[in-house]
Amino acid sequence: MTAEAPVVLRMRGVRKHFGATAALDGVDLEVRRGEVHALLGENGAGKSTLMKILAGAHTPDEGSMELDGRAYAPRGTQEAARLGVAMVYQELNLAPDLTVEDNVMLGRERGSVGFVRRSDARPRIREALALLGRSEIDPRERVAALAPAARQVVEIARALVFEARVVILDEPTSSLTREDAERLFAAVDRLRQSGVAVVYISHFLEEVVRVAQRYTVLRDGRSVGGGATDGTPISSMVEQMAGRKLEEFFPKTPHQAGEVVLDVRGLAGVRMPREATLALRRGEIFGIAGLVGAGRTELLRSLFGLDGVRKGDVQIRGETARASSSRDRLAQGMGLVPEDRKHEGLALALSIAVNTTLSNLKPLASWGFVSSSRQEGATRRWIERLGIRCRGPEQVVGELSGGNQQKVAIARLLHHDASILLFDEPTRGIDVGAKVEIYKALGELAAAGKSILVVSSYLPELFGICDRLAVMHRGVLGAARPIAEWTELEVLDEAIRGDGARRAAAGEEARP
């Protein structure tokens, strides 16, 4: 049936550059009427850029788009919505204090003299909710009172009420329970049957196979494959997603792992992680892979005392380190470079000197007065050591490029003389040249006897720099293995399905 259905949305050779980086480098996509079309790809493959182009938030540099056979070039999200392309974002776009119907109509209220006439829209909203199989949702309910799954349905209903022809769902199940996900699948299926084309983005491939009829794989900004989901094994999808050669940009500094310096047993956070056990050695780079939302960031934050710890045991250099604050952890020689550089990692409005020395001002001060010459001297040393390109220690960090900002964050750990370094997505959003320099710096730090824990969603990077690797799946950290014993395929598979399948295949009873 789908084979005969007309193409609703067609993209040809779409390209999009941000500065020097190509986010999309030639994407073809065909979505037919009444189908769920899955968009697959690793983090950074270009899915979100593609979606934003579809939803009118970005305009493509090159390439053509057609909607129902007519040229489609929305100049903004409003226009895209008017033309019938609706986007349901991962972080839901609802005002929690408004009612369901007010949310659905938000920005498109019809009324007289400024008064909203709710009675007009209500039947249509009820109809949409019923079509999605969720007629029990009351349009007059406040959105805050709804479960996450119901909120998602409200977003989809919004698209239906305004007669969207293409609905884009971005990781719709990432925050849903199993049962809620099931109900969502049912709603998506009804949506499809009503003739709407659904673009479905998800990491969970089992889900994709169940929900979608066809799929397209993005890799490095290009569409590299696709077809019918029926009869395509998951493993072949994974191969298409991962199938890239390991780029040769991982400078290796030889380093030798020594004694265990950080021993974590059964660590559980308030919500995430659910269970994490790992042993980090001196002079070692230990990688943690996993999907976004698997609990990797939370693991680092609980280790560093920023998030609460529910249970588990953390030993630093053989001594039990009680659940504590980041202040204590810094004193114990641990440092964290968080994922969110702009809001947490750095104080962008302040100088390089302040950012570098903030966690360890005491040695630069006497009687509480910080010597500016000593502060600048210390900062200059790290600027030279790490090759931070800047005008000098007094330059404001916000003016630096992403890569140089990241180096300032690393400089802070070095100035603090931390020996256990936690990195969350250390190369996210920085250009290739700067990435290589960060990899080089990490290798040199390990060679100097520091212990490094790296969370990354970019597999080639983990394979390029790590000595050992473990995968996190829905809050549980799997067993670590030397990097040589992993393949990218295995990592992706474990990230998506957990290590249960592998363990069963190996005939293991439980993790050692």
Partner 1 sequence: MTAEKPGSARRLMTLVGPFLGLLGVIAFFALVAPEGFLSVYNFKTVATQTVIVGLGAIGMTFVIVSGGIDLSIGSVIALSSVACALSLRAGQPPVAAALLGVLTGMICGFVNGLLVTTLRIIPFIVTLGMLGAARGLAKWLAGEQKIDAPAGWLADVMTKAPEPAWLTVSPGVWVMAALAALAAIVLRRTIFGIYTFAIGSSEATAVLCGVPVRRTKIQIYTLCGLFAGLAGVLQFGRLTVGDPTTAMGKELDVIAAVVIGGASLNGGSGTILGSMVGAFLMSFLANGCNLAGVPNYVQEILIGVIIVAAVALDSLRQRKK
Residues at the contact surface with partner 1, assessed by CB under 8 A = 306, 325-327, 329-331, 336, 338, 340, 343-351, 354-355, 358-359, 361-362, 365, 368-370, 372, 391-392, 394-395, 398, 412
Cβ-Cβ contacts under 8 Å for 41 (sequence gap 6 or more): 47, 217, 218, 219, 241
Whether 278 contacts 287, CB under 8 Å: no
| Nearer to partner 1 among residue 194 and residue 366 (C-beta) | 366
Residue number with CB closer to partner 1 (275 or 344): 344
356: CB partners within 8 A, 6+ apart: 378, 379, 382, 393, 408, 411, 412, 415
CB of 358 to partner 1, least distance (A): 4
Nearest approach, Cβ of 475 to partner 1 (angstroms)? 23
Strands 365-366 and 369-370: antiparallel
Q: How far apart are CA 398 and CA 392, in angstroms?
A: 13
Provide the minimum distance between the beta carbon of 44 and partner 1 in the complex, in angstroms, as a whole number: 24
C-beta closer to partner 1: residue 287 or 393 = 393
Tokens 């994407």: give the residue. Answer: 27
Q: What is the DSSP string of 9-45?
A: EEEEEEEEEETTEEEEEEEEEEEETT-EEEEE--TTS
List C-alpha distances in Å: 359 to 392, 404, 412, 425.
Answer: 20, 19, 7, 21
- Give min distance, CB of 94 to partner 1, in A: 25
Q: Smaller CB distance to partner 1: residue 209 or 347?
A: 347
Closest separation in Å from C-beta 326 to partner 1: 6
Which is closer to partner 1, CB of 37 or CB of 412? Answer: 412
Distance CA 12, CA 63 (A): 6
CB nearer to partner 1: give 336 or 469.
336
* Residue 311 or 342 with smaller CB distance to partner 1: 342
7-18/21-32 β-pairing: antiparallel
Report, in Å, the least distance between residue 342 CB and partner 1.
9
Beta carbon of residue 351, minimum distance to partner 1 (angstroms, whole number): 6
Dihedral (C-alpha) 391, 395, 397, 403: value to the nearest 10 degrees?
Answer: 10
